[in-house]
């Protein structure tokens, strides 16, 4: 298999009371003053967007048309235990109009497609719930 680079995201971050994060293409420009849970919010937004795309790929591979109302809500917890920081995540997914068993199959397949899911596999506790 030949690897093909699809995209490189580039961001610049500054800290402090006037903290900011900005992407090189200008599509992301957020104020993130410290302290602020920006990292967890941004990670949740990026992962849920990627996971949504992975659900769409899994559906397309099975010739299933997803409803436009498909949604993913991500909750990222920042925890500390004896001075060691770690994450926990919940992905709550709604796929209305799709048989529950089939929807759960799509969600499981999406984890094997989504680069974010693959990156955290075995590293953080992840609960995926079909609503």
User: Count of CB atoms within 10 A of residue 35's CB?
Assistant: 7
Question: Can you tell me the distance from the alpha carbon of 120 to that of 57, in angstroms, rounded to the nearest whole number?
Answer: 20
pLDDT digits (tens, 9 = 90+) for 96-130: 999 999 999 999 999 999 999 999 999 999 999 99
- CATH of segment(s) 35-130: 3.30.300.20
On whether the pTM is more than 0.75, the answer is: yes
Closest CA to 59 of 6, 115, 100, 98: 98
Task: Compute the radius of gyration of the chain from its Cα atoms.
Answer: 17
Architecture of domain 1-33: Single Sheet (2.20)
Mean pLDDT of the chain: 94
Angle at 90 between CA 74 and CA 21, to 5 degrees: 40
- pLDDT tens per residue, range 29-41: 999 887 777 889 9
Domain ranges in the chain are 1-33, 35-130
């Amino acid at each position: 298999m030949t690897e093909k680079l699809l995209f490189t995201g580039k961001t610049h971050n500054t800290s402090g009371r006037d903290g900011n994060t900005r992407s090189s293409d200008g599509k992301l420009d957020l104020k993130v003053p410290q302290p602020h849970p920006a990292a967890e919010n941004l990670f949740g937004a990026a992962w849920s967007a990627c996971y949504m795309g992975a659900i769409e790929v899994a559906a397309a591979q099975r010739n299933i048309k997803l409803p436009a109302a498909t949604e993913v809500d991500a909750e990222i917890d920042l925890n500390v235990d004896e001075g060691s920081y770690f994450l926990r995540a919940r992905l709550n997914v709604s796929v209305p109009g799709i048989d529950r068993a089939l929807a759960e199959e799509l969600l499981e397949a999406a984890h094997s497609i989504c680069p974010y899911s693959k990156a955290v596999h075995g590293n953080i506790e992840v609960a995926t719930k079909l609503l």
